[in-house]
Chain A
Amino acid sequence: MAKGGAVAERNDFYLAEHDRFIACRASDPAWLRDLRGRGLVRFAERGFPTTRDEEWRFTNVAPIAETPWTLAPAVAPGVDTLIRDVLFDAAIRIVVINGRFVPELSRISNSPVQAGSLAGAVAGGSVGLEQQIGAFEMDGRPFVALNTAFLDDGALVVVPAGALLRDAIHIVVATVPGADPVVAHPRIVVSVGASAQATIVETYVGAEGVPYLTNAVTEIELGENAVVEHYKDQREPTTAHHVATMHVRLARSSNFASQSFAFGGGIVRNDLVAVLGGEGGECTLNGLYFSDARRLVDNHTMIDHAMPHCASHELYKGILAGKARAVFNGKIVVRQDAQKTDAKQTNRALLLSDDAQINTKPQLEIFADDVKCTHGAAIGQLDEEALFYLRARGLTALEARDLLIHAFAGEILNEIKVEPVRAQMEAALFDRLAQDLEGQ
């Protein structure tokens, strides 16, 4: 009874927060108010997940569920120092701080690419938004429901058909903690038209201090024959929790390549859903994560092969130190019509300590009969013989360790085509590793 009481109390808290939230948003379009309402209902039905939910078996979000997160207030000045280190010379940059678009730090575009504030686009009556936002099922996704209930601002990128964008579009999401625990629910909406080509970089950072929660949702839609490269760089402080869901829809012959880097955060949960909804689509999902101390990084991916002749390649690698925990759940569904599917999934983890732990699970659900699906997982420590070999050639124990970790991570890092992002990711990883070593 006590537990039920706690859930009801939490629901009351978010209902009250929601009332405050919508009070000043009565003039928003009806579809948005309706969407928020549905999100709130969905969230209130089940509340936060527990380890009794199959999808959350190894990820206990009690520290998130038990904290009353109030909406992060508009930012104080001076936050540009927070994001300075992650910026690169992008022609288009959208900066979202504490869930709100910050025009002074952004470089937006109106034509031919539309890129800027999501709330701005809503207010401006942008055509087609209603179809682009919230176009996927919230049932069973309580954090998406919560994000939707508080849907307000974030980034909107619309790349018109045929546009070839050589430069990356940089979306920076930052959070400044307050005196009490705060939450931001940024929503990133990307639509890339037929035969268009674009590169999107999402960077998540924040300041240390009182805990905060980032609860992000990214929706990406690829038109026919579109090519999208997506990078997610998550470097939030350990005092922050990061929960994010990315939903990607691929039309016929489109190509989506994702690289997800998770180096920060206390509890980190990434859900990535890619739906191959047209023939001949191709999807690459790669990831590299680092977890140390008592942090937890959970990557749940789901590739839905709904149509024939689609290919998916997936490679996730993790580096775990200290008493870190990690979860990898790679689900691949091949529906009855999806003949000639070629799906490959690989998951590797490097355990730098005896106390680190990973739960890994490939989950293949195949309903078609003429398909090629492979999966493999390998968990191990640094190879002692390799370490000795390097030391026997004069490298110190530390240099040998770093070289082997470089080699392990390089398979993912070297695939980053946006050079400043590659350099930042590499530096960030080895910075974290050095800190970890000092702590030992």
Chain B
Amino acid sequence: MLEVRNLKVRAEGKDILRGVNLTVKAGEVHAIMGPNGSGKSTFARALAGHPQYEVVGGEARYLGRDLLDMDPDERAREGVFMAFQYPVEIAGVSNAYFLKAALNAKRKHDGLGELDAMEFMTLVRDKAKLFDLDASMLGRAVNEGFSGGEKKRNEIFQLAVLEPKLAILDETDSGLDIDALRVVANGVNAMRSTDRAFIVVTHYQRLLNYIIPDFVHVLNDGVIVRSGGKELALELEEKGYGWLEAAGASA
């Protein structure tokens, strides 16, 4: 589904990613871990097409197409979804309006008919029930006045409604209490399927108790320094990230 080769990304004049390689197949869940400043979020945002992240080398192919050549909105309509680390507040736009516009943009792109207000509300109520999310947040302005946990749940709600092929979670677990974390993890687990892939960017191993990854990658200083199975996360939990610096120093 996703083939990343030697990806190099600059942001604010600094080289952040210095050659990342990653292959993600449909049905897989990949966790990307690493210390602060290792480039985890940069990787997520670059895949989503954030304009402040400049790709200076390498390539990323998504379903056989050049992902980096697509505008961020085209990536989204093609089924790439990034759950934001810091979801943006948009005053004056209701969640329902926003989500309906997003869903219909995608449906139109897929050659499906646009949903009217009634069909849309039925769909989101069903999703809310299924994912144990609060449908009352639909009437509120996008993320405005939401707590940190509500914002992250809202991202998962969007994920559930938009049903992407490739979902990238950028530290969705950071700062969450255990209840909110469960909602997020349950949402992701319910969405796991053979034709959908996840890249879960996280700072803490805790999330991976709830979302069991197929692969764990450790990013440090802009490159993936280790890859392994789910047991790698446990090892990191035990040893922390300190050993990376030691490894870096000896290299």
Q: Which residue from chain B places its CB closest to the CB of A389 in the assembled complex?
A: B88
Per-residue B-contact encoding for A383-395, CB less than 8 Å = 1, 0 else: 1111011111111
Residues of A within 8 A of B82 (CB): 392
Out of B84, B92, B101, which one reaches A389, CB within 8 Å? B84
A386, A394, A410: the one within 8 Å of B73 (CB): A394
Of the listed stretches A131-139, A272-280, A303-311, A399-407, name the one at the interface; the rest are far from the partner chain.
A399-407
> What is the minimal beta-carbon distance from A412 to any residue of chain B, in angstroms?
10
Q: A388-B50, A388-B72, A399-B105 are in contact. Are A393 and B88 (CB under 8 A)?
A: no
Instruction: Assess whether B98 is interfacial by the CB under 8 Å rule.
Output: yes
The size bracket of the interface on B is 20 to 34
A48 within 8 A of B: no
A435 at the interface (CB under 8 A from B): no
Rounded to whole angstroms, the CA-CA distance of A161 and B135 in the bound complex is: 48
Asked if A130 is at the interface of the complex by the 8 Å CB criterion, the answer is no
Which chain A residues border B158 with CB–CB below 8 Å? 393
A393 near B90: Cβ-Cβ < 8 Å? no
Q: A385-B88, A386-B88 are in contact. Are A391 and B93 (CB under 8 A)?
A: no
Residue of A383, A394, A400 near B109 (CB, 8 A) is A394
Known contacts A389-B90, A392-B48, A404-B90; is-contact A397 B98 (Cβ 8 Å): no
| B residues less than 8 Å from A385 (CB atoms) | 88
Report yes or no: A408 in contact with B102, Cβ–Cβ below 8 A.
no
CB pair A407 B73 closer than 8 Å: no
Name the A residues within 8 Å of B98 (CB-CB).
390, 393, 403
A208 contacts the other chain (Cβ, under 8 Å)? no
Task: Judge if A66 is at the interface, Cβ distance under 8 Å.
Answer: no
Q: B106 contacts the other chain (Cβ, under 8 Å)?
A: yes
Instruction: Compute how far the CA of A404 lies from the CA of B141 in the bound complex, rounded to whole angstroms.
Output: 12
Contact bitstring B154-172, A, C-beta under 8 A = 1, else 0: 0000100010000000000
**Minimum Cβ distance to chain B for residue A396 (Å):** 5
In the docked arrangement, what's the CA distance between A408 and B141, Å? 12
A394 engages B105 (CB within 8 Å): yes
Q: Which residue of A lies closest to B99 (CB)?
A: A393
CB A10 to nearest CB in B, in angstroms, measures: 46
Chain B residues lying within 8 Å of A55, measured Cβ to Cβ, are: none
On whether the beta carbons of B71 and A391 are closer than 8 Å, the reply is: yes
B222 lies within 8 A of chain A by Cβ = no
Interface mask (A207-238 → B, CB under 8 Å = 1, otherwise 0): 00000000000000000000000000000000
Q: Say if the beta carbon of A436 comes within 8 Å of chain B.
A: no
Contact of A383 among B49, B50, B88, B105 (CB under 8 A): B88
Contacting residues, chain B, for A389 (C-beta < 8 A): 84, 87-88, 90
* Residue contact A393 to B76, C-beta cutoff 8 Å: yes
Q: Which residues of A contact B75 (CB under 8 A)?
A: 392
Taken together as a complex, chains A and B put the C-alpha atoms of A396 and B70 apart, in Å, by 12
- The distance in angstroms between the C-alpha atoms of A393 and B72, with both chains bound, is 8
Known A391-B72, A395-B102, A399-B101; judge A386-B51 contact (CB<8 A): no
From A395, A397, A404, give the contact of B105 (CB < 8 A): A395
Chain B contacts of A404 at CB under 8 A?
A: 90, 93
Residue B77 at the chain A interface, CB threshold 8 Å: yes
Report the bound CA distance from A156 to B71 in whole Å: 57
Residues of A close to B77: CB separation below 8 A: 394
State whether A392 touches B91 (Cβ < 8 A).
Answer: no
Question: Judging by beta carbons under 8 Å apart, are B91 and A393 in contact?
Answer: no
Complex interface: chain A residues within 8 A of B92 (CB):
406-408, 410-411
| 5 further contact pairs, Cβ within 8 A, besides A399-B105, A403-B98 | A389-B88, A390-B90, A392-B73, A392-B82, A395-B101
Interface residues in chain A, defined as those with a beta carbon under 8 Å from any beta carbon in chain B: 383-386, 388-397, 399-400, 403-404, 406-408, 410-411
Question: Could you jot down 6 A-B contacts, CB within 8 Å?
Answer: A385-B88, A391-B49, A393-B98, A393-B102, A404-B93, A406-B93
For the complex of A and B, list the 8 residue pairs with the smallest distance between their C-beta atoms, beginning with the closest.
A407-B92, A393-B102, A394-B105, A394-B76, A389-B88, A391-B73, A391-B72, A407-B93
Q: Which residues of B contact A (CB under 8 A)?
A: 48-51, 71-73, 75-77, 81-82, 84, 87-93, 98, 101-102, 105-106, 109, 158, 162
